[in-house]
Structure 1
Amino acid sequence: MSTQTAAKTVLITGTSSGIGLAAAVATARAGWHTVATMRDTTRADALNQAAAEAGVSDLIQVKRLDVTDADSVAACVAEVVAEHGHLDAVVNNAGAGFVGTIEQHGMERVRSVMEVNFFGVVELTRAALPHLRASGGRVITVTSVGGVVGQPFNESYCAAKFAVEGFMESLAPVAATAGVQVAVVEPGAVASEFVNNVGLDIPALLAQAGPYAPPLQGYIDHALKSFGSDTAQTPEQAAAPVVDALTAEKMPFRIQTSDWARDFVGMKLADLDGSAVQTEMTNWLG
């Protein structure tokens, strides 16, 4: 890739699969120089193949970035600015799911989920902001409908995503005074990602669930149905609003990726006493 170019440059995290991979290809197709980062660059084959098929390999540069390692974050951001002369947008996409309830998993698991899904987002945003101020750039963070609606057996994950949304909602008006726009993108179910991304061993999980086994089975049945249903989006569909946000004159702060996600988030935002959400989540448990 050429260096010190005037073309816009975006850095995207978590691009080895799913929404991150799709977003990297889509931003490149839209003409952005795309720095596609991942913790393990040996997992770049799927991205490289997708880029080649889309004819955008020359616009995608794979770099290592571990969002839980401050030195890795600082080094990657510094390299991007040195090579391209500027940084115009960051897409915080890297994340990790976790299914379980607090009584049965230790605090170490809670902290590990927060490190990836929350502190990693904060670290990269902090490192990028001086350069985004210089370019009048954008911070887009892929959260989840789980950043608005707390979901059963997703306590740690939803807590981290809630934290991200609170952080970004608070940052947005401050960053705007310096010319930086901030938005969150909230996907719902994305086809095929549930078991793969969360790394579930369902029989083992149920065997260890004790008194929570029946509701956990209900939740898993619901999740598997949702992630395989007509309401589930492809990664490409979920990534499309990211590109729209990058190119819009003014981004909205909160962006849902589907009609289902808008309805689901809308239920929570209109639910002043929490009864609608509690009823819906109880129904998910069967």
Structure 2
Amino acid sequence: MSVTSPQKSIVITGCSSGFGRVTALHLARHGWYVYATVRKEADAENLISEAARLGCKDQLMTVVCDITSPADVAALSQVVDETTPRLQALLNNAGTAYAAPLELLALDDLRAQLELNVVAQVGVTQALLPLLKTARGTCLARSPGRERFGCERGGRRCSGLYCHP
């Protein structure tokens, strides 16, 4: 599928559930063309089914992408570059939050969390930045889990990214 109209387009990572899924469907229903990343094919099928039910299936493309995989991120960037004339926004939403006091947090879990929540988000941003710059687009990032845990129980989670190309 190719987006040939001058409509706005956005990449949203982490659309299997929660905020990413709701935001992808909401924007698709309101005229945005949404590239929604998910990690599993079953999640892609479920999201497309929901978009069809809401009447916005033609406004949404699912992309199976593990953002911690440079090859997946490169493939995502290529799909977006080949199918839209302008990428107006990137919402780095994919992430995880481990609810554990610092003294009980396994370092391997912390490393995996930082890889997904920080390093991988930077990788996605770097891959899509040329497209965002061309369209004078913007980039947003969420820090997962804050809405449930706050910083008093999850200070290590309360790091986020902000960029404006």
CA distance in structure 2 between the aligned counterparts of 1:144 and 1:13, rounded to whole angstroms = 12
Matched position secondary structure for 2:133: helix
Q: Which amino acid aligns with 2:138?
A: R
Q: Mark the CA change 1:78 to 1:2 in structure 2 (over 3 Å): closer, same or farther.
A: closer
Shift of 1:4: 4.0
In the alignment, structure 1 residue 89 sits paired with structure 2 residue 89: yes
Shift of 1:145: 7.7
Q: Deviations over 1:37-60 (max 9, x none)?
A: 111122224322321221001111
Q: TM-score, normalised by structure 1?
A: 0.52
Q: TM-score, normalised by structure 2?
A: 0.87
Conserved in 2, the CA contact under 8 Å of 1:67 and 1:116? yes
Q: Deviations over 1:165-221 (max 9, x none)?
A: xx41xx4xxx3xxxx4xxxxxxxxxxxxxxxxxxxxxxxxxxxxxxxxxxxxxxxxx
Shift of 1:144: 5.3
CA distance in structure 2 between the aligned counterparts of 1:38 and 1:130, rounded to whole angstroms = 22
Aligned residues: 163
State the partner residue of 1:101: 101
Conserved in 1, the CA contact under 8 Å of 2:96 and 2:145? no
Q: Which amino acid aligns with 1:57?
A: K
CA distance in structure 1 between the aligned counterparts of 2:129 and 2:157, rounded to whole angstroms = 21
Q: Which amino acid aligns with 2:152?
A: Q
Q: Which amino acid aligns with 1:139?
A: C
Shift of 1:16: 1.1
State the partner residue of 2:74: 74
Q: Which amino acid aligns with 1:86?
A: R
**Unmatched 5+ residue regions in structure 2?**
none
Q: Deviations over 1:241-265 (max 9, x none)?
A: xxxxxxxxxxxxxxxxxxxxxxxxx
Q: Mark the CA change 1:145 to 1:41 in structure 2 (over 3 Å): closer, same or farther.
A: closer
The counterpart of 2:156, out of the listed 159, 163, 172, is 159
Q: Which amino acid aligns with 1:81?
A: D
Conserved in 2, the CA contact under 8 Å of 1:70 and 1:123? yes
Q: Mark the CA change 1:86 to 1:107 in structure 2 (over 3 Å): closer, same or farther.
A: same
Alignment of 1:1-286 (within 5 A): 1-143=1-143, 146=146, 150-152=151-153, 154=154, 158-162=155-159, 164=160, 167-168=161-162, 171=163, 175=164, 180=165
Shift of 1:129: 1.3
**Unmatched 5+ residue regions in structure 1?**
181-286
CA distance in structure 2 between the aligned counterparts of 1:146 and 1:21, rounded to whole angstroms = 17
Where relative contact order (Cα < 8 A, 6+ residues apart) is larger, the structure is 2
Conserved in 2, the CA contact under 8 Å of 1:88 and 1:132? yes
Point out 4+ residue stretches in structure 1 off by more than 4 angstroms.
none
Q: Mark the CA change 1:22 to 1:68 in structure 2 (over 3 Å): closer, same or farther.
A: same
Matched position secondary structure for 1:100: coil
Structure ID, larger Rg = 1
State the partner residue of 1:238: none
CA distance in structure 1 between the aligned counterparts of 2:126 and 2:95, rounded to whole angstroms = 17
Identity among equivalent pairs (%)? 29
Matched position secondary structure for 1:47: helix
Matched position secondary structure for 1:131: helix
CA distance in structure 1 between the aligned counterparts of 2:32 and 2:119, rounded to whole angstroms = 27
Q: Which amino acid aligns with 2:141?
A: T
Q: Which amino acid aligns with 1:143?
A: S
Larger helix share, 1 or 2:
1
CA distance in structure 2 between the aligned counterparts of 1:2 and 1:75, rounded to whole angstroms = 16
Conserved in 1, the CA contact under 8 Å of 2:94 and 2:117? yes
Q: Which amino acid aligns with 2:151?
A: G
